[in-house]
Amino acid sequence: MTRVALAFSGGLDTTVCVPLLKEEYGYDEVIGVNVDVGQPTDEFDEAEETADALGLDLHVVDAKTEFADLCFDAVKANATYQGYPLGTALARPVIAESILEVAVEEGCDAIAHGCTGKGNDQLRFEAVWRGSDLEVIAPVRELGLTREWEIDYAAEKDLPVEAGDGGVWSIDENIWSRAVEGGELENPDYEPPADIYEWTAEPDGETTIEVTFEAGVPVAVDGEEMGPVALIQHLNEHAGAYGVGRTDVMEDRMLGLKVRENYEHPAATVLLTAHQALEDLVLTKNERSFKAGIEHEWAEKAYEGLVFAPLVDALDAFIDETQETVTGTATVKVSGGSCRVVARDSAYAVYSEEMASFNTEDVAGIAQEDATGVAKYHGLQERLANGVAASVSAPELATDGRGDASGDE
């Protein structure tokens, strides 16, 4: 008996994979694994119905908590890729690992996905799976299947696929983001119609939302403590009602293709905005500027589905070191579809109102006139380079054409 575990969502691609894994690849048994990272519940019901009709043994794994924790790592890293908060990208390694665990427990010989050869997900899944001894199979890619071929094949085999297969848009949803692509959206010059949005209302009204962080991790909203999954779900609904968190990006995919993708991510927008605002208050300038480079690397690796990379562990170690003081609150105002910080507070603020104020004199033994020496030196190299340093006589200055040094024509 040979057995293969298939990442099964109940969509057209994964449905046609079930008979193909037996017919074309010769496996005796196929088991399906559907991993819950916060897809809508009707997707699970549909997957279960489809599995029943196919006679497929379907395992459902709840990975929402693990996924939410990873989303909070992304918050600590202020991570976005080309403006997108990485929902799909962060979910894939979590899904891949859950499926692999089931495959190993069930004594499978192989593991399969229904991704095409054009997207990022094939790479994200296989980056995890190819570390195991199981054979990795990608029927859609390996057999060069097209959507039309799949629809004909499903009709011929009488497979339980719904006509239209979920409508014109290709949608990928989890608690961190809802991604919409395909159909007319493939034309970058086409404005998305209102009906692509499900999480965000047309902007109307305004409110403020206060987020409490402990060591960089969101722990409460408007004073109410919540666990990671509940907190994200609450903010998606609450901020989504104010139209917050829509992005329309020309996304550079891992294989080099540029693809137009629309996203909704109200919770991610609120949490990333609030977290950044709190960091702005408690981190030093040097920490902030160095961390920006770390964040860029983190987001790139996350986009590639490589959050388990040793590099990411090292980046996380740096990030965690900076997060000790990211404790306090930040308040954002959501209005007109925008989200901006309006207040922040922390016991660890690298800030002295007394020092920054225009109305105080000596503070910590520093008087206003102490800045005179600094002011004399500031820009010295620039003045020398431009040949305008007052204390250096003109003939000593370089006259090689930089600026308008005196003595030069």
Q: Which residues bind ligand ARG (CB under 6 A)?
A: 88-89, 120, 170-172, 179-181, 251, 261
Minimum Å gap between C-beta 178 and ligand ARG is: 8
Minimum Å gap between C-beta 389 and ligand ARG is: 53
260 is catalytic: no
Nearer to ligand ARG, 170 or 331 (CB): 170
Minimum Å gap between C-beta 165 and ligand ARG is: 12
Nearer to ligand ARG, 20 or 180 (CB): 180
121 is catalytic: yes
121, 177, 246, 344: which is the annotated catalytic residue?
Answer: 121
170 is catalytic: yes
Contact 361, 371 (CB under 8 A): no
Nearer to ligand ARG, 39 or 325 (CB): 39
344 is catalytic: no
**CB pairs under 8 A, 24+ apart, for 287-294?**
287/322, 291/78, 291/318, 291/319, 291/322, 294/77, 294/318, 294/319
Contact 68, 228 (CB under 8 A): yes
The residue whose two tokens read 């983190």 is: 298
Residue 298, H or E segment: helix 285-303
Nearer to ligand ARG, 82 or 360 (CB): 82
Minimum Å gap between C-beta 255 and ligand ARG is: 11
9, 36, 73, 92: which is the annotated catalytic residue?
Answer: 92
Minimum Å gap between C-beta 374 and ligand ARG is: 48
| Widest Cα–Cα separation across the chain | 92
Token pair in block for residue 341: 């910080």
What residues form DSSP beta bridges with 212?
A: 220, 329
Q: How far apart are CA 129 and CA 374, in angstroms?
A: 58
3, 109, 141, 170: which is the annotated catalytic residue?
Answer: 170
- Distances, alpha carbon 247 to alpha carbons 3, 265, 404, in Å: 41, 8, 47
Nearer to ligand ARG, 181 or 295 (CB): 181
Q: Which residues are catalytically annotated?
A: 13, 92, 121, 170
